[in-house]
């Protein structure tokens, strides 16, 4: 995360969604390694973070959460 493209404004937005992908890999069983199957869980977790007030970027490309539509 320490690059010239990340500053104090974008640090939280990028760090937590990417950390959740690492957590998904570490907490999943070794035989579970299908990124397509993990994508919905990561998107759901992003929506949870948004609901809790964290301004986070999408992990899997473009998607949306109900919390974004309410704003």
57 pLDDT higher than 80: yes
Residue boundaries of the structural domains of the chain: 11-70
Q: Which two tokens stand for residue 1?
A: 């995360």
From residue 53, how far is each of 15, 22, 34, 36 by CA, in Å? 15, 21, 29, 27
CB atoms closer than 10 angstroms to residue 58: 14
| pLDDT tens per residue across span 4-37 | 677 777 777 878 888 888 888 888 888 888 888 8
Global pTM reads 0.70
């Amino acid at each position: 995360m320490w690059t010239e493209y990340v500053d104090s404004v974008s640090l939280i937005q990028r760090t937590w969604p990417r950390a959740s992908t690492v957590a998904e890999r570490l907490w999943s069983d070794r035989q579970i390694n299908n990124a397509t199957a993990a994508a919905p869980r990561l998107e759901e977790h992003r929506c949870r973070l948004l609901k809790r007030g964290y301004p986070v970027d999408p992990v899997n490309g473009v998607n949306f959460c109900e919390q974004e539509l309410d704003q």
